[in-house]
Structure 1
Amino acid sequence: MTRAIRIAPSILSADFANFGAEIRAIEDQGADWVHVDVMDGHFVPNLTFGPQLCKAIRPHIRTVMDVHLMIAPVDPYIAAFADAGADYLSAHLEAGPHVHRTLQAIRAAGCKAGLALNPGTPVEAAAPLLDLVDLVCVMTVNPGFGGQSFIATQVAQVAKLRALIGDRPVLIEIDGGVTPDTAPLVAAAGADVLVAGSAVFKGGSVANPAPYGANIRAIRAAAEAAT
């Protein structure tokens, strides 16, 4: 698999009243994917988006819609998010007792399957599932809120995961605290996809999107310099 850094801005940091224009702006400014953080107020202490929102923004996304389900249970909602147009659909290993079944259901629904891991979960727990996934999302903050500080001990976990994956066509995604300062750390350890919220959207707006592009380029350049 060809290694290439992908930048996936999280719309959790966008203007909620203007999602369509915000998505067009970040894509025009160089975003590779659009990351959607789905939180249920139960599995994580926040409440954000549902499948209806994903369906509403799908026509505005020209790249990849990367949907991160921070919800429990997961299985009853897979079909709805797949129908809403998710390209990647990631579920947490910690969200239920039958994650193997969940990953199979995601693929059966026509999406690429992602497995997300909380900072307190060792990456070795993903080893039996690597042949069922297209992506592993390593949380570098505790999930539930944007704008948190990067947990530096997760860098070593990313390196372990890269070794476990071997030559499988599985992407490693990093979610939480990604900035031009932290991006090189995880990129050098083996990350492929960098989710960034406030670090992309800071300083810009739909009316002034140039800072989005500058922020995306800074994160990408820092990551690529380390690979």
Structure 2
Amino acid sequence: GHGSTSTDSHTGLPRVDRTREEAFAIDIAPYKQAIDRCVAPDMVMTAHIQYPALDNSQIDTRNGDKITVPATMSREIQTQILRNELGYAGVTISDALDMGAIAEHFSQQAAAENVFSAGVDIALMPVSIASPAQASLLPELIRYIAERVKTGHLSEADIDASVERILRLKLRHGLMGHSDKPCSNDVASSAHKLEKRIADRSITVVINRQCLLPLKDKALRYFILTPWGEQANGIANVMAQ
């Protein structure tokens, strides 16, 4: 449903004001078509978008305010519409929970809990880990979620169903057992070579000031380009050790 928004969910929380009929005719239509095929998609990613026509319920934020629930945290959208109405039986995964649309309004614990409460199977990037010192954040979050299940705040049946869907997906793709196949079989595969040729031919140098490209500095050992500063910092921290 991102097509009719002007906000990037990396930095803010988008809102779609289409009617329910428009939603099913436009935004949901591709999903329905894919799910109705003989081979439905293995996974569906949810979006951090407010869609009042589909669910106008309110949810508490970390600041004490109430906002229209994002689709990622909406049980109406994730369970009632996606699973019950559209008949999707595969694995669902949230968009990254460290994106501005979510991180601005929810703590890491609340974000993960809300996603699981909606019926989503996998909470993507619930914590940001850019250094060894932050490595404990993930097991701490897992313990928190386990405690919320024990106290009845999260449905154990929902968690069990999610685990079963994830395990079935792994089994289907041969990811449960040890494989003796060398990684080079995949890395150097014809498909990867084709991908590289496509990537090489899809880039056009428009301006090359001072003839900096291609890089010629022989003293340069590594050049790693990342879309986000936090990723660069994380890589730098690891390489510095």
Say which structure is richer in helix: 2
Higher relative contact order (CA 8 A, sep 6+): 1
Structure 2 length-normalised TM? 0.32
Say which structure is richer in strand: 1
User: Which of these two proteins has the greater Rg computed from alpha carbons?
Assistant: 2
